[in-house]
Amino acid sequence: MPKETQKNFEQNMEAMSKMSPVEMQAKIKDLDKICICKKCPTYVGTGENKLTFCAIGKSSIIKKDKGCLCPGCPVQKTLALRWDRYCLKGSGKEQSGMK
């Protein structure tokens, strides 16, 4: 059997856009368990409790960039994300120019 080719970020978003709101919420909840923002110096001590900014977009609380762990996060690989500092710069979709 030929291996399935790795999908790019835009293709992953296209697939996710077909999910129902309930499915999407469940998906983000799953990603929250993998997200490593909680260990990031930019996150720690800010009082923020949201996660997975690559999907939900900017934090309204985090303002100061103290580095970013996203390049080492498994979600980055799973969704083929190519950016960083999603809490400050916006979701993958926003940074890709898709929206």
CA-CA distances (angstroms) from residue 65 to 39, 43, 85? 14, 9, 8
Choose between 19 and 44: whose C-beta lies nearer to ligand SF4: 44
Choose between 13 and 35: whose C-beta lies nearer to ligand SF4: 35
Stretch that binds ligand SF4, among 4-12, 13-21, 22-30, 40-48 (CB under 6 A): 40-48
The answer to the question of residue 13 lying near ligand SF4 (CB under 6 A) is: no
Among 16, 28, 36, 80, binds ligand SF4 (CB under 6 A): 36
The answer to the question of residue 56 lying near ligand SF4 (CB under 6 A) is: no
Taking the C-alpha atoms of residue 47 and residue 14, their distance in angstroms, rounded to an integer, is: 33
Stretch that binds ligand SF4, among 6-14, 16-24, 73-81 (CB under 6 A): 73-81
Helices (H), ranges, the chain: 9-16, 21-34, 53-56, 74-78, 86-89, 92-96
Q: Tell me 5's DSSP state.
A: P
Other Cβ atoms within 10 Å of 90 Cβ, number: 18
The answer to the question of residue 83 lying near ligand SF4 (CB under 6 A) is: no
The answer to the question of residue 52 lying near ligand SF4 (CB under 6 A) is: yes
Taking the C-alpha atoms of residue 27 and residue 74, their distance in angstroms, rounded to an integer, is: 14
